[in-house]
Amino acid sequence: MDLRNIFVNSVRLTCKPSSMEEAAKFINDLDILTDTPSNVDIANLPDSRLSQLLQMLKQSNINELRNQVVHKKAYRPSREEVEAAIEETRGILFPLARYLSIDYDDINWYIRGA
C-alpha cells in the first residue's frame, strides 16, 4: 500500500469524515486511494499552492534512496546525496505541514489532539 498516494489522494479529495458512516466509507475506499493520482487531477485543484506542494511530494524520489539504505546492501549515500535529500524533504514537508496546519514539532499536540 503506497502511503504517499493515500496521503495525496486524501488531501486532494479533502476527505474529512464527519460521521462513522463517512469514516467507514473512507476506510473501505483505501484501495482506490492507493492509486497514483494523475498530474492533471493534482493540477486541477483550486488552490495552486497546495497543488504545487502535492506535485513536489508526488515527484520526490527520496523513498528510493531510503530503500537503498534500509533494504538493499547497506548502501551509504554520499554527503551530497544526504544534503540534497534533506533539502528536498524540508522544501516539501515543512511548507506542506504549515499549509495543512499540522503541528509537527510540538509533542504536546499529540497529547491535546488536533
Number of Cβ within a 10 Å radius of residue 112 = 8
DSSP secondary structure letter of residue 29:
T
Provide the grid cell at 88: 528536498
Residue at 31 is within a domain: no
Looking at the domain assignment, is residue 81 inside a domain?
yes
Angstrom distances, CA of residue 38 to CA of 5, 58, 105? 10, 10, 31
- Determine the pLDDT at residue 6: 86
More confidently predicted of 61 and 16:
61
What residue numbers bound the domain in which 74 lies?
A: 60-114
Q: Could you tell me if residue 94 is inside a domain? A: yes
For residue 78, being part of any structural domain is answered with yes
Single pTM value for the model: 0.74
Cβ neighbours around 92 below 10 Å, total: 20
**What mean pLDDT is predicted for residues 2-22?**
83
- Of the pLDDT bands very low, low, confident and very high (cuts 50, 70, 90), residue 109 is low
Cell reading at 22 = 463517512
Q: Which of 24-28, 72-76, 79-83 has the highest mean pLDDT?
A: 79-83
Whether 107 maps to a domain, the answer reads: yes
How confident is the model at residue 10, as a pLDDT? 84
- Counted domains in the chain: 1
9 is a domain residue? no
Position 102 in a domain: yes
Specify the higher pLDDT residue, 10 or 51. 51
